[in-house]
């Protein structure tokens, strides 16, 4: 019988410890392993860059909750992205990226990979003809974020998988914003799901990490080879914290969504708010696609305000329970000004974000307290 999401999150890769019966995988703080004679590895463990039991537990759990065959855990989301790109691309290759990709992903392409001879084109992923037109013989990947950070645009994963595969490219989906509880890109045809596990998967703002999960064994093997060869692995304590977060992802995400829906209602009725960006709204241009490929619409909400940049910055500064800070996906609510904070590196580029934009990561506090704080901040 296929097990449900929460069962997999709590049990996949997490058998009781064979030595003690501990119900939680221990933190194997170890670099090397005793061999029983030369080449006599116990359970395959040799050196902790190559594999570590705590990391293995996390990797197996991540593969299970994403519906993939291979999971790999990294030191950060960007380390996962770097490993993936240097596995599927070589100098001379090309990647199609969203025209509103996460700023750090854009920086990786524009400031790092460009210098190494990998070119890219930012394209609005909602326009399938534009995506098809951007694919060239040397295109090795189409990079998707859905919903996007911070504009919450939605892309049709199944349709983009067809475009990628017709062009001989892999479809990569950064699933950080939705989390595997709300969206499973591999089941929609994507080849790799990417995560900043720093966000919803970890869920408690106490660890930085990244992950790749593949649909095919072959790509999983190639990525695992590069993970070891390049070395940006998750350490055992980080893997343990991330695994602890993953166990409660389902219940947390439902509460994030409940609270975000109430926040959206408040914003919609507020005179100073000129636009609310949330894929759960019927008027959102990606609503139908989001409804088709997501379980619910997530905990991220962005909005634009009357009074431009100054007004947006002031709201961020006035909020109290919504903590002013970067990152997202933790149990505590955060507020930020993308133009000056998370997306400052995209200033002056085609990915620059509107100056009057405020982004919320709606946490799981008592919702009435969140609404009161936001009303106060909006003035
Ligand atoms: C959508 C998305 N992808 C990737 C990353 C990068 O992950 P990390 O900060 O863990 O390196 C982030 C970080 O904010 C993100 O929001």
For every one of its 379 residues, what pLDDT tens digit does the chain have, with 9 covering 90 and above? 689 999 999 999 999 998 899 999 999 999 999 999 998 998 899 999 999 999 999 999 999 999 999 999 999 999 999 999 999 999 999 999 999 888 899 999 999 999 999 999 999 999 999 999 999 999 999 999 999 989 999 999 999 999 999 999 999 999 999 999 999 999 999 999 999 999 999 999 999 999 999 999 999 999 999 999 999 999 999 999 999 999 999 999 999 999 999 999 999 999 999 999 999 999 999 999 999 999 999 999 999 999 999 999 999 999 999 999 999 999 999 999 999 998 887 788 888 899 999 999 999 999 999 999 999 999 9
Longest dimension (CA), the chain: 74
Q: Is position 106 annotated as part of the catalytic site?
A: no
Q: Evaluate whether 165 touches 171 at the Cβ level (below 8 Å).
A: yes
CA distance 245 to 52: 19
In Å, what is the CA distance from 211 to each residue of 192, 223, 228? 10, 11, 14
Structure tokens at 168: 């001989």
CA distance 159 to 358: 30
Q: Tell me which of 100, 174, 356, 373 is the catalytic residue.
A: 174
377, 180, 353, 348: which is closest to 277 by C-alpha? 353
Residues framing ligand 1 (Cβ under 6 A) = 76-78, 102, 104-105, 145, 149, 174, 176-177, 196, 198, 208, 210
H helices within the chain, ranges in order?
5-11, 53-65, 77-88, 103-107, 128-134, 157-166, 179-182, 217-230, 236-247, 249-268, 287-293, 308-318, 367-378
Helix (H, G, I), strand (E, B) or coil at 112: helix
Helix, strand and coil content of the chain, in percent to the nearest 5, comes to 40, 15, 45
């Amino acid at each position: 019988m296929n097990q449900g999401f929460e069962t997999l999150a709590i049990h996949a890769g997490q058998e009781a410890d064979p030595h003690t019966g501990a119900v939680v995988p221990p933190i194997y703080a170890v670099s090397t392993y005793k061999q029983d004679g030369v080449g006599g590895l116990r359970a395959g463990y040799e050196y902790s860059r190559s594999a570590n039991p705590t990391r293995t537990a996390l990797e197996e759990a991540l593969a299970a909750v994403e519906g993939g065959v291979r999971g790999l855990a990294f030191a950060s989301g960007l380390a996962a992205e770097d490993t993936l790109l240097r596995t599927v691309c070589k100098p001379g290759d090309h990647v199609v990226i969203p025209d509103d990709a996460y700023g750090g992903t854009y920086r990786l392409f524009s400031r790092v990979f460009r210098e190494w001879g990998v070119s890219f084109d930012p394209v609005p992923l909602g326009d399938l003809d534009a995506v098809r037109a951007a694919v060239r013989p040397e295109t090795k990947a189409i990079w998707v974020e859905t919903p996007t950070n911070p504009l919450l645009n939605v892309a049709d994963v199944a349709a983009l998988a067809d475009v990628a595969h017709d062009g001989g490219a892999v479809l990569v989906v950064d699933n950080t914003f939705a989390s595997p509880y709300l969206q499973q890109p591999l089941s929609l045809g994507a080849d790799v799901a990417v995560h900043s596990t720093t966000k919803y998967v970890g869920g408690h703002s106490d660890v930085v990490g990244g992950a790749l999960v593949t649909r095919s064994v072959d790509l999983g093997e190639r990525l695992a080879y590069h993970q070891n060869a390049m070395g940006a692995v998750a350490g055992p304590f980080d893997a343990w914290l991330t695994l602890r977060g993953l166990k409660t992802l389902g219940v947390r995400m439902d509460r994030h969504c409940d609270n975000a829906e109430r926040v959206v209602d408040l914003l919609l009725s507020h005179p100073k708010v000129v636009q609310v960006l949330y894929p759960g709204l019927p008027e959102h241009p990606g609503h139908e696609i989001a409804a088709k490929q997501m379980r619910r619409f997530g905990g991220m909400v962005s909005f634009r305000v009357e009074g431009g940049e100054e007004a947006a910055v002031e709201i961020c500064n006035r909020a109290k329970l919504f903590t002013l800070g970067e990152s997202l996906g933790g149990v505590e609510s955060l507020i930020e000004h993308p133009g000056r904070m998370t997306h400052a590196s995209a200033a002056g580029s085609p990915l620059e974000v509107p100056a009057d934009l405020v982004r919320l990561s709606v946490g799981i506090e008592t919702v009435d307290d969140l609404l009161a704080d936001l009303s106060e901040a909006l003035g």
